[in-house]
Amino acid sequence: MHQPQTDHLENVALGKESRQSSIRWNSSFNGPLQANDGNKNSISVGGGCSNTEFDTHNFWWAVDLEVEFIIEIVTIYGRTDCCTDRLRDFDILLYNPTDASWDGYDQGTSKLCYHQTGEAPTVLNVTCEDKNTRGRYVEIYMTKDNNVENHCVKLKFTEGKQVHTKEELRQILQPRLTGLQNEMKLDKKNISRWKRNYISVADKRESARYMGIVGVVVLGAIVGTVCCKSVKEKEKNRPPRVSYRGHKLLSVKAQTQLEVEFLRELQNDPDLELDFWKQPMRGDVHIHVEPKHEKKCMETLERAGFKYSVLQEDIQRGIDTEWQSISRHAGSRDYTQTYLDLNGIDDFLSTLEAEVPQRLERFNLGGTTAEGRQIWAVKVSTDLNGSGKKAVWIECGTHAREFITISTCLATANNLARLYGGSGVVAQKATAMLDLYDYYIVPVHNPDGYDYAFWVSRLWRKNRRRNNGICQGVDLNRNWNANFGGSGSSGQTCSDTYRGNSALSEPETAALDAAIQTTNNVAFISIHSYSQYILLPWGYQSSKPSDYNTLLRIARSAEAELESYYNTAYLVGTPPDILYVASGGAYDHMKLNNGIKYSFTYELRPGSGSSWGFELPENQIAPTIEETFASLWKFAEEIYADDNATGRK
């Protein structure tokens, strides 16, 4: 099977005419073309940068792309030898004149793509405010006098083969994006105040499986990706945070199957609006209860003879503690210390791709979510152009409130890409994994839901589809074609396990399913939280697949490796055996319909007896990552040995 097409479009800024406000050194070596000549060295001295003095002109650097494009993404990378503080307080503008000319520029007709206030980070993701913004000229305007000399500009272009010829792209994309005809330009008097940075103008027009990078110019410190205007509007107009003040988390013990069924009835009672953090099963069941339903819920449980305890008197306290940690680490991209929002995740992945482009590339799974977002994935390989190895897919962030899963996927991508070939225990495991397989990692499968959980309603689980009625969202892990509509899923739109109208009805599940069908797969691993389980097929029925014993042996080996780090014990088995029946799950679908033999699901920390629930503290992030990555290494080793055993292909 062929690999999914993730190659970028040509860098249309490459070698195009460019201007700048002044020349710091001689123009033959440090002229404006040095910013977009394809030389990726980002060191000023001897690196082929375009150098310019500060002056009082309006625009510091500009490029003419010759024809107009719809521009959505602008990416700027920082100079690496020094002076990262010099890129600050600037505008990125797009301009498409009726009469294209450097000298005929009318500043009043340019469109703002992005404004940066203060110092830009080393890698900045830039999102144009309007997804339909067109431009032939790309220009940077310094909005404050920074009194800095010797600005250095350099092109950083995205390598890769074209997905289509220009003519094919025009035919495919013009009906949707109003044309790929023209590129862009800037006029000499406008070229003044840019700072040295790599500006990458990326045009995110998508055919089935690609992202097109229009261009990248190194100017000092920025990387950008652009979403849709609708997303920007939603982010600017987010509703106020949902308060969980006074909400309780109960632990209810179900000892018989009859009691399990009773709890399921409570779960579906619309008058109680109970949120089951741990689904009805024999053993401890965790139930989130709102203050307005607390008395009735407890009376009902007591009348039915249930024993229960209060794990959290006030759920908001835990959320406040978590948010204090997030605020304390604001601006950090250290996924081992805090949870990142979507912008932080995008920054981190952009930086990672820029630093190890030979081993990692990002790509869009295809399509957009209900709120207009793209679903990003990364491919990590020893040869991105085709290693010939089988693929392991890892999916995280399906359920919005399971923040620790996203940190785990980010760490897995980072370890594989950055540590390959290095020394140390983690690097050795990463090298072994990547020598065996290519990895396709989806850090945030549900970006709409995650954004909503991060900024608005911390305990949100589903995506953000607008259903008929007042309740939003579909549970993506009930939307797969594995006994769709069966036990463990709900047909009620207000339920947290609402399965949707039909299998693969959601853009998130449909996109992942389509992408997976384009690769030669050996394993699929879905990462969730919480309760500390490694789950095997089948989740939707009590009978087991014919290769169950093999899967059980492999999973137990991975669990033993995980447990050896911090004595964190996981249970291993099928959901019907150790949890409950759940239909429509991802890993069942992958084994049933996509022929992926080695399909597993994690439920990460904390354990079932913990009061933390989904609010795993910051000091638990790093150990969770460490032990989980070690078990993923053991999975790879065991799967490879079994898959290549005598008599197998």
Strands (E), 297-366: 307-312, 360-364
The span from the CA of 41 to the CA of 32, in Å, is 15
Amino acid identity of residue 108, one-letter, is G
Please state, in angstroms and as integers, the Cα–Cα distance from residue 479 to each residue in 57, 105, 197, 522, following that order: 56, 52, 44, 22
DSSP state of 35: G
Q: What is the pLDDT of residues 292-309, one digit of tens each?
A: 999 999 999 999 999 999
Amino acid identity of residue 463, one-letter, is N
Mean pLDDT of 108-117: 75
Please state, in angstroms and as integers, the Cα–Cα distance from residue 146 to each residue in 51, 53, 514, following that order: 16, 11, 49
Q: Give the pLDDT of residue 61.
A: 75
Q: Give the pLDDT of residue 270.
A: 82
Please state, in angstroms and as integers, the Cα–Cα distance from residue 175 to each residue in 40, 171, 172, 179, 339, following that order: 35, 8, 7, 7, 39
261 is catalytic: no
Contact 126, 216 (CB under 8 A): no
Residue 209 has pLDDT above 70, yes or no: no
Q: Give the pLDDT of residue 579.
A: 86
Q: Give the pLDDT of residue 536.
A: 98
For residue 118, the SS3 value is strand
For residue 550, the SS3 value is helix
Find the Cα–Cα–Cα–Cα dihedral 475, 480, 486, 492, rounded to 10°. 30
The span from the CA of 627 to the CA of 178, in Å, is 49
Please state, in angstroms and as integers, the Cα–Cα distance from residue 226 to each residue in 181, 211, 368, following that order: 20, 11, 13
Between the two ends of the chain, the Cα-to-Cα distance in Å is 15
Q: Give the pLDDT of residue 179.
A: 31
Q: Give the pLDDT of residue 2.
A: 32
Q: What is the pLDDT of residues 30-85, one digit of tens each?
A: 567 667 666 655 555 444 566 665 554 555 678 877 777 766 667 776 665 556 56
Which two three-digit tokens encode residue 339? 């949870």
Residue 204 has pLDDT above 70, yes or no: no
* Domains observed in the chain: 18-226 (2.60.120.260), 248-313 (3.30.70.340), 324-643 (3.40.630.10)
Q: Give the pLDDT of residue 148.
A: 43
Q: Which of 98-112, 152-166, 550-564, 572-586 has the highest mean pLDDT?
A: 550-564
For residue 640, the SS3 value is helix
Q: Give the pLDDT of residue 280.
A: 87
- Residues 27-40 as b or e (16 or more Cβ within 10 Å = b): eeebbbbbbbbebb
Q: What is the pLDDT of residues 75-109, one digit of tens each?
A: 776 665 556 566 677 778 877 765 555 555 555 56
Closest residue by Cα to residue 412 from 395, 400, 424, 399: 395
Q: Give the pLDDT of residue 645.
A: 87
Q: Give the pLDDT of residue 106.
A: 55
Catalytic residue among 561, 603, 618, 637: 603
Q: Give the pLDDT of residue 292.
A: 94
- Exposed / middle / buried, residue 82 (Cβ in 10 Å: 0-12, 13-18, 19+): exposed
Amino acid identity of residue 588, one-letter, is D
Long-range contacts formed by 233-238: CB under 8 A, 24+ apart: 234/371, 234/372, 235/451, 238/455, 238/456
Report phi then psi at 260, rounded to 5: -60, -45
Sign of torsion over alpha carbons 510, 516, 517, 522: negative
The span from the CA of 204 to the CA of 216, in Å, is 13
The span from the CA of 189 to the CA of 193, in Å, is 10
Mean pLDDT of 616-625: 96
Residue 614 has pLDDT above 60, yes or no: yes
Q: Which of 95-99, 566-570, 593-597 has the lowest mean pLDDT?
A: 95-99
The span from the CA of 239 to the CA of 62, in Å, is 39
| Locus of tokens 């990003």 | 376
Mean pLDDT of 154-183: 37
What DSSP assignment string belongs to 585-596? -HHHHHHHHS--
Q: Taking the mean position of all CA atoms in its chain, how far away is CA 363?
A: 10
Mean pLDDT of 204-232: 33
The span from the CA of 24 to the CA of 342, in Å, is 39
Closest residue by Cα to residue 601 from 551, 549, 566: 551
Half-sphere exposure at residue 223, Cβ-oriented, CA atoms within 13 angstroms = 22
Q: Return the number of other C-beta atoms located less than 10 Å from residue 319's C-beta.
A: 20
* Reported confidence tier of residue 311, pLDDT bands at 50, 70, 90: very high
264 against 13, higher pLDDT: 264
Beta-strand relationship, 73-77 and 18-20:
unpaired
Q: Give the pLDDT of residue 86.
A: 65
168 against 511, higher pLDDT: 511
Q: What is the pLDDT of residues 439-497, one digit of tens each?
A: 999 999 999 999 999 999 999 999 999 998 789 999 999 999 999 999 999 999 999 99
Contact 293, 272 (CB under 8 A): yes
Residue 193 has pLDDT above 70, yes or no: no
What is the pTM assigned to this prediction? 0.66
Amino acid identity of residue 514, one-letter, is A
Q: Which of 15-24, 209-218, 356-365, 526-535 has the lowest mean pLDDT?
A: 209-218
- According to DSSP H, which parts of 1-105 are helical? 27-30
Q: What is the pLDDT of residues 144-155, one digit of tens each?
A: 655 444 445 443
Q: Give the pLDDT of residue 480.
A: 98
* Reported confidence tier of residue 132, pLDDT bands at 50, 70, 90: low
The span from the CA of 265 to the CA of 251, in Å, is 17
* Reported confidence tier of residue 195, pLDDT bands at 50, 70, 90: very low
Find the Cα–Cα–Cα–Cα dihedral 45, 49, 53, 59, rounded to 10°. -160
Q: What is the pLDDT of residues 397-448, one digit of tens each?
A: 999 999 999 999 999 999 999 999 999 999 999 999 999 999 999 999 999 9
Q: What is the pLDDT of residues 627-645, one digit of tens each?
A: 999 999 999 999 999 999 8
The span from the CA of 451 to the CA of 458, in Å, is 10
Report phi then psi at 288, rounded to 5: -90, 125
Mean pLDDT of 572-578: 94
DSSP state of 473: -
3-state helix, strand, coil in the chain (%, to 5): 30, 20, 45
